[in-house]
Structure 1
């Protein structure tokens, strides 16, 4: 019965597709086997290797590809690694979709394609990425646009989420929760910069909502939850859910000084640490992205931003925090 190939389905966002899709409705193609309980078919493979993608499609009844597989770390990997997966991997997906007469592709891009802006981003803006990650995601989008233009029946849905968080997330938001829980977190200056974030269950349900509305051509949607919160509001909401308080506010310049020793350790060891001057600067940067286009089409998120943060803290507290 399978009709969907989910690439990168063993990861954080993929784990929630496993919860919301029927297990006989999709096949998961990933480099690693899921670490969570699953019943869906799993195929070990890499989207950068044509034969791996062909193996996942051959003999299957695939009508849609959802592309989650990506290089997405903020820091610590090389320029070419982003493009090898996010652009060239997408090119291979498109080539094999053509070979197997698949007409529908859903691609998880990122608001990083907009670059850092002071004004609120929306889908009408021209992308201006200022990082290798954002540039590689935009390059992947361009590959899909070309693929869709080659056949009037092809349909592409591009989702540009903000930072996605929630249960099973072991990256940025979990690091933030751990820092607040340990008492090492501080507000950076006024911390009044908006930080758009996206709760994972909302993102996945929004994707399934939009998949039912796909039409020939390319559709692009941002995803960010409401209400939009400042860095201070995010930190205080997490602290409250942990029954703690953020007691310290540090001027921006002092906060950056705190990160310098960690930069040296990163340089000497090559490890991607949760604290660095780059991460501290990012914490103080405004990232405000609008999803009004999606909401105006009738999608209503199940959880508010506050709800999502509290649910992730509940998961954090219940999981092994060692």
Structure 2
């Protein structure tokens, strides 16, 4: 049986494909761009167009959907709906036509919005942005597909927290880069806690979920423990061989003002900037989640402390300039 990884040319998809090669699983990447790591495994198709998807995805496949519009600065805003919602509808149409019985969908903890500490899979759904909203609406589309044949169809919904790892150029990398540059300053008190997910562990859980039985399976994905921002910065400095002390802090209210200022510049210039109001708020917020994954018997292959050390050493202490990189939040 073939596994179709939709959106597989990106960060998680490339790590997942490497895992499938290692474990000798038959897979195809279905994406709007050719995979830099696995070009011979790639079929070109955009989730916004049904016909190319029908051509690219084989009969009786297992379908993994990683495709998403996810950045904080997407423009125009209707791209969230076109890719995340319409894309889900298109994939369900293809799944029905191609007699597909299993869909694995990577959603996001963004469906919970600024959630209460320790939010689990039964937490209140309250997205604060279009990304979280459209991920939640996509989940409903997949649930409707599964409900059409509940005894035979398997739906796995995985809601990762922020995913990081080697070669990713998202928010965690930007934080690590600031620390490594020596120009980092803390906004606020730094006692807010952050749940994180290492890409290799996320890929391993996706592979693990291939064996799930018919039904709907929903899991947050988090690697524990949850570090405070102070603890995370201190640990990174230690890996870099520096003092763990944070020398400069910016008051939260001033950080918000800076974020608003950069939003105005971005609006006028139509340029994507590294600083924004929503990113300041996300940086200073608690984002601590719980998960029922342990009940499945899954054990993450890499503990979080080792994952952070691997990433910091790879990005800032070793030479990997020729390796491809992936841009995300």
Aligned pair 1:236/2:234, yes or no? yes
How far does residue 85 in structure 1 lie from its aligned partner after superposition?
0.9
The CA deviation at 1:248 is 1.5
SS at match of 1:128: coil
Offset at residue 53 of structure 1 (A): 0.5
Q: Which residue of 2 aligns with 1:77?
A: 75
Q: Is the 8 A contact 2:146 2:153 kept in 1?
A: yes
What does residue 256 of structure 2 align with?
256
The correspondence for 2:94, drawn from 89, 93, 96, is: 96
Please say if residues 4 and 29 of structure 2, whose CA atoms lie closer than 8 Å, have aligned partners that are also in contact: yes
Q: Deviations over 1:228-258 (max 9, x none)?
A: 1112222222222223344212221232344
Asked if structure 1 preserves the Cα contact closer than 8 Å seen for 2:107 and 2:159, the reply is yes
- Larger displacement relative to structure 2 (227-236 or 162-171): 227-236
Residue aligning to 2:325: none
* Structure 1 equivalent of residue 31 of structure 2: 30
- The residue number in structure 1 matching 2:327 is none
Q: TM-score, normalised by structure 1?
A: 0.92
The 5 A counterparts of 1:1-322 are: 3-22=2-21, 25-36=26-37, 38=38, 40-57=40-57, 60-152=58-150, 153-212=152-211, 214-245=212-243, 246-291=246-291, 293-317=292-316, 318-320=319-321
Structure 2 length normalisation: TM-score? 0.90
Q: Is the 8 A contact 2:192 2:286 kept in 1?
A: yes
Contact 1:9 1:29 in 2 (8 A): yes
Q: Deviation of residue 35 (structure 1)? A: 2.3
Structure 1 residues without counterparts, runs of 5 or longer: none
Contact residue 86 and residue 140 of structure 1 kept, 8 A: yes
Q: Classify the secondary structure of the residue corresponding to 1:244.
A: coil
Query: Matches of 1:260 and 1:219 in 2, distance apart?
Result: 39
Contact in 1 for aligned 2:195/2:288 (Cα 8 Å): yes
Gaps of 5+ in 2: 323-329
Cα distance change of structure 1 residues 40 and 21 upon mapping to structure 2, 3 Å threshold: farther
- What RMSD in Å do the two structures reach over aligned CA positions? 1.8
Equivalent residue of 2:223, what SS? coil
Pairwise CA distance, 1:46: 0.2
Cα deviation digits, residues 277-307 of structure 1 (max 9, x gap): 321221001111112x101322121222221
